[in-house]
A and B are shown apart, each in its own frame.
Chain A
Amino acid sequence: GESVGLHLPTLSVQEGDNSIINCAYSNSASDYFIWYKQESGKGPQFIIDIRSNMDKRQGQRVTVLLNKTVKHLSLQIAATQPGDSAVYFCAENDNNAGNMLTFGGGTRLMVKP
């Protein structure tokens, strides 16, 4: 498949280590946030979401942290695996204005075996 994100910031981690991907969002009215994973040649795949009334949410091997004060979102992946290699995007939405996602620029995660 073709490459996604040829010139994106890259995070390189060793297999088994934890990964932290950061995202700064722009709209203080945003109240819903989503992390997506995009592999080469595919569309964005939903990973985890969080509403603005929470500051932490956990899924399977993933945790999302939300800091509304500084408009910052992070995705933590525990025990990173080669299959986690992809481009990760955060997206924000102001639900009172509709369901229109605004995406960040993306981070490429490379997992070294």
Chain B
Amino acid sequence: DAGVTQSPTHLIKTRGQQVTLRCSPKSGHDTVSWYQQALGQGPQFIFQYYEEEERQRGNFPDRFSGHQYPNYSSELNVNALLLGDSALYLCASSLGRLNSNQPQHFGDGTRLSIL
């Protein structure tokens, strides 16, 4: 039973560029959430996708966008990269969205470095 998988594992970009990160959820899960984790801090919620639509969004600018496909996989896109976007980007999947009391399961993340 495959867990959450993310690609790539590491990525180096320069300021102003655009990046796409990918996530395949755990088998049986239909909801995908994205988090940003800066060094020394806990993950911060970016947004959540369910039924191919963005359902909730944290305090991130619209440079951060996403997509969910019919097979539940998801992408995180970041435009006009800034130095401060350097972080570990985590994808988490779960079953159901509201009142599910189901834990989110995380992938190992994509380490994005901006030069």
Supplied contacts A4-B39, A6-B39, A44-B106, 10 more A-B pairs, CB within 8 Å: A5-B41, A43-B108, A46-B104, A49-B103, A99-B96, A99-B100, A100-B33, A100-B58, A105-B42, A106-B42
Interface size class of A (residues with CB under 8 A): 20 to 34
> A43-B109, A44-B90 in contact; A99/B39 too (CB < 8 A)?
no
| Beta-carbon contacts under 8 Å, B67-103 to A | 90, 92, 94, 96-103
A100 and B45 contacting across the interface, CB-CB below 8 Å? yes
> In the complex, which of the residues B33, B107, B108 has the most CB atoms of chain A within 10 Å of its own CB atom?
B108
Q: Which residues of A contact B90 (CB under 8 A)?
A: 43-44
Give the complex CA separation of A22 and B48 in angstroms.
28
Considering only CB atoms and an 8 Å cut-off, how many residues of chain B contact the other chain? 33
User: Which residues of A are interface residues toward B (Cβ below 8 A)?
Assistant: 2-8, 32, 34, 36, 41-46, 49, 51, 89, 91, 95-106
Q: Which residues of A contact B109 (CB under 8 A)?
A: 42-43
